[in-house]
Amino acid sequence: MKRAHFSPLATLLVAAIALGGAATGSPASAAPILPTPGGDTAIGATALSLVDRGREDPWVPGTRRELAVTVTYPAAGVSGSEPAEYVKGSGLQTNAHVDAPVASSGPRSLPVVLFSPGFYMPRTLSTGTAEHLAGRGYVVISIDHTGDGLATVFPDGRVVPQRMPDPYSEATLRKALDTRVADARFVIDVVESLARGDGDAVATHLPDGLADAIDPSRIGMFGHSMGGASTAEVLRTEPRLDAGVNLDGALFYGTAPSPIVTEGATRPLLSIISSLHADSRKGRERFWDQYFRTPRGWSRVYAIADTGHASFTDAEHFVPQSVPDLPAFQIPGGLSLGTAPRQEVTRTIDGLVTAMFDRHLKDRQDPVLENPTPRYPLVREFR
């Protein structure tokens, strides 16, 4: 994996979007910075700190592993609830309301979906997709992998910087992926504990109805970039995960192909990739050709025309269509947004991600997963 895949340019983007204004303490803006997600319900959100008391933090020996997560969910109402911020203290408002009561049709009625961001990236960079899923009846748990992100913002305002030595080395990349997989398993453990009524699973107060509504028997996961590779590895190794979506993730383990490339997986995986990655001859030769030859369960790989690596993040909402990519961005794994219409790109990604989880977590057999192009004209099959 080349250093360019996680360039300093990514650091600048994350800092501008995720941390801009974090120290100002300004009040939330009057209007959400993301489009209204639609769906049948209002949106609630709560930020939690989760401590894995059985695991040492791999980046800070002698301490327990602690994760900051945001839980986004369908809300029964938002009266009296404060608007949620994109990042705590940023003054940037989302469509969600803090700790609003959960809307559900009864116990265990809401499937759970985990989200893993890209290397260096914060959990907030897919808030748009998380809100889209929440509006359609999912509880989305977005995970910050403490220590490998540029900065992790905890609910109490603590900011933990990146703590990896030599983040581009083979050993560190492997360690980061292994840590992310363990993080996801721990979050699934917490979901199961909450469903059992274990009050010690989360030390803070939860929104009314959340513990009763979550269904630990229906769990999916999606991720962007390294988060996509992490999703694929969790799917391969964790039987409690039912389905996964890889958003423009190179299926690497360190610099070698991921085991899912060579060994396959029995549970369903949808990969949606940028045209930059689809057009990369090196990427096809290094892992996609072998991935297609390896026997596996349900699997589809689709490319979205005229898109770049950052097209799978909230940058699609924040960067005007008129702003061109800088030449340095136009590399696989860079910060390119391509030239495709921004709204159409997000409609396509959110629609396919939702259809995937609707099929495998809700048993809704939308044929769009077999032939998405009539509904989403930017899509072409990659094989």
pLDDT band at 356 (very low <50, low <70, confident <90, very high): very high
User: What pLDDT is recorded for position 348?
Assistant: 98
Residue 262 has pLDDT above 60, yes or no: yes
Residues 98-128 have pLDDT tens digits of 999 999 989 999 999 999 999 999 999 999 9
pLDDT band at 30 (very low <50, low <70, confident <90, very high): low
The mean per-residue pLDDT over the stretch 76-100 comes to: 91
Residue 346's CB is within 10 A of a number of other CB atoms, namely: 21
Residues 302 and 273 sit within 8 Å (Cβ to Cβ): yes
Residue 269 pairs in a beta bridge with: 244, 299
- In angstroms, the CA 334 to CA 310 distance is 7
Residues 163-185 have pLDDT tens digits of 988 888 999 999 999 999 999 99
Residue 67 pairs in a beta bridge with: 50
Task: Kindly list the structural domains of the chain, giving each domain's residue range(s) and its CATH number in brackets, ordered by start.
Answer: 3-381 (3.40.50.1820)
Q: And the tokens for 245?
A: 């979506």
User: What pLDDT is recorded for position 98?
Assistant: 96
> Between 21 and 58, where is the model more confident?
58
The mean per-residue pLDDT over the stretch 348-376 comes to: 97
User: What pLDDT is recorded for position 23?
Assistant: 37
Categorise residue 209: left if φ over 0, alpha if ψ from -120 to 50, beta otherwise.
left
- In angstroms, the CA 170 to CA 181 distance is 17
- Percent with pLDDT over 70 in the chain: 91
pLDDT band at 31 (very low <50, low <70, confident <90, very high): confident
Residue 12 has pLDDT above 80, yes or no: no
- In angstroms, the CA 296 to CA 251 distance is 15
Residue 1 has pLDDT above 60, yes or no: no
The mean per-residue pLDDT over the stretch 290-319 comes to: 95
b/e per residue 204-223 (b: at least 16 CB within 10 A) = eebbebbbbbbbbebbbbbb
Residue 25 has pLDDT above 70, yes or no: no
- In angstroms, the CA 256 to CA 263 distance is 13
SS (H, E, C) the chain: CCHHHHCHHHHHHHHHHHCCCCCCCCCCCCCCCCCCCCCCCEEEEEEEEEEEEEEECCCCCCCEEEEEEEEEEEECCCCCCCEEECCCCCCCEEEEEECCCECCCCCCCEEEEEEECCCECCHHHHHHHHHHHHCCCCEEEEEECCCCECEEECCCCCEEECCCCCCCCHHHHHHHHHHHHHHHHHHHHHHHHHHHCCCCCCCCCCCCCHHHHEEEEEEEEEEECHHHHHHHHHHHHCCCCCEEEEECCCCEECCEECHHHHHCCCCCEEEEEEHHHHCCHHHHHHHHHHHHHCCCCCEEEEEECCCCHHHHCCHHHHCCCCCCCCHHHCCCCCCCCCCCCHHHHHHHHHHHHHHHHHHHHHCCCCHHHCCCCCCCCCEEECC
The region of weakest confidence among 22-31, 129-138, 327-336, 352-361 is 22-31
pLDDT band at 45 (very low <50, low <70, confident <90, very high): very high
pLDDT band at 38 (very low <50, low <70, confident <90, very high): confident
pLDDT band at 327 (very low <50, low <70, confident <90, very high): confident
Residue 54 has pLDDT above 90, yes or no: yes
Residue 24 has pLDDT above 80, yes or no: no
The mean per-residue pLDDT over the stretch 85-91 comes to: 87
Residue 85 pairs in a beta bridge with: 93
User: What pLDDT is recorded for position 59?
Assistant: 95
Cα 285 to Cα 2, 148, 261, distances in angstroms: 16, 28, 12
User: Cβ contacts of residue 38 below 8 Å, gap of 6+?
Assistant: 132, 135
The mean per-residue pLDDT over the stretch 363-367 comes to: 94
- In angstroms, the CA 60 to CA 302 distance is 39
**Mean pLDDT, the chain, whole residue set:** 90
Q: And the tokens for 308?
A: 């770049």
The mean per-residue pLDDT over the stretch 279-287 comes to: 90
The mean per-residue pLDDT over the stretch 249-271 comes to: 93
Candidates 235, 242, 225; CA nearest to 259 is 235
The region of weakest confidence among 28-32, 170-174, 334-338 is 28-32
- In angstroms, the CA 352 to CA 58 distance is 35
The region of weakest confidence among 14-28, 253-267, 299-313 is 14-28
Helix axes 170-196, 226-237, angle to 10 degrees: 60
User: What pLDDT is recorded for position 19?
Assistant: 42
The mean per-residue pLDDT over the stretch 185-210 comes to: 89
pLDDT band at 132 (very low <50, low <70, confident <90, very high): very high
> Between 331 and 221, where is the model more confident?
221
Q: And the tokens for 82?
A: 């404060």
Q: And the tokens for 38?
A: 């639609």
Residue 2 has pLDDT above 70, yes or no: no
User: Cβ contacts of residue 346 below 8 Å, gap of 6+?
Assistant: 35, 128, 316, 317
